[in-house]
Amino acid sequence: MESLSLPTLNPLLPSGSSLYRKQSSRMTSSMSSSVSFATGRTSLSTVRRSRVGVVKMQAVDEDIDLKQMRDMAAAKKRWDGLLREGKVKLLTPREAGYAIQLSNKPLLDVRPSSERNKAWVKGSDWVPIFDNEDNLDAGTLSKKVTSFAMGGWWSGTPILSFNKLFLSKVEEKFPKETELIVACQKGLRSLAACELLINAGYQNIFWVQGGLESAEDEDLVTEGSQPLKLAGIGGFSEFLGWTDQQRAQAAKEGWGYRLVFTARLFGVILAADALFLGAQQLGHYIQELRGQ
């Protein structure tokens, strides 16, 4: 596994990301300086050491960013090579649908549970290569809080971790000679899964280009509470209907679909207005109590 050097595919910024570390370093430096001034013990050497520490942390951040970029570029190069050499065969979602219905080829869904539970291809097998991080230890909670603050509240993208049992679970289900179709939501994680499977000895691997999100309604027989195109969205943006996938869906569904999200937007505005007025009334009430 380690030799594959799989890059971090989670789109949100974990607590180890450079942006988070830079903000943390600035906050730490600012807080330490404030305490020193308050106690009257600020010295030139302390300031110099603080600046040197910040510079070192920034240099480390740049090295980590550069390493992540190199890892991703190397992974893409490997994946392109697998496709170019024919070790992984390319299928469009429609071709995958034909292969499933006419040739009875199995479809391996490698999406995380947050996407799988919303919509899936009928009869597909599910083994996530990355799944939702459900641990409640301090490190995981810190990542979740950071991700939420850095945009997770809007996008709803969860913290994911690599599934160490991925290969063993696949091997339990499928022999090495199986003609296996591999798919994820957008087509990136499934390429990582294809590489793992090829290196494990599978020789008949098919990759769904663009992922399940690019499938049209008639391409695949699906089940679940939502269309496949909407399985990868979440957060407040999904609630308001402000994602590209929902805009495309609204163009098909018409005004009835749009009115639902318009009503939600007005509801949010009214709720915010009510909270603002309530806060004002509470402030006046507290002032009156103090005046007595």
Catalytic residues: 184
Beta bridge partners of 235: none
**Paired tokens of 191:** 């390429």
Which residue reads 């730490």 in tokens? 28
205 contacts 190 by C-beta, under 8 angstroms: no
d(CA 269, CA 285): 24
220 contacts 96 by C-beta, under 8 angstroms: yes
82 contacts 194 by C-beta, under 8 angstroms: yes
d(CA 197, CA 207): 11
**Paired tokens of 109:** 């869904």
**Paired tokens of 100:** 């499933």
The residue type at 132:
N
36 contacts 83 by C-beta, under 8 angstroms: no
In the chain, DSSP assigns E strands to 88-91, 107-109, 119-121, 125-126, 130-132, 160-162, 180-183, 205-208, 222-224
**Paired tokens of 142:** 């810190």
63: CB partners within 8 A, 6+ apart: none
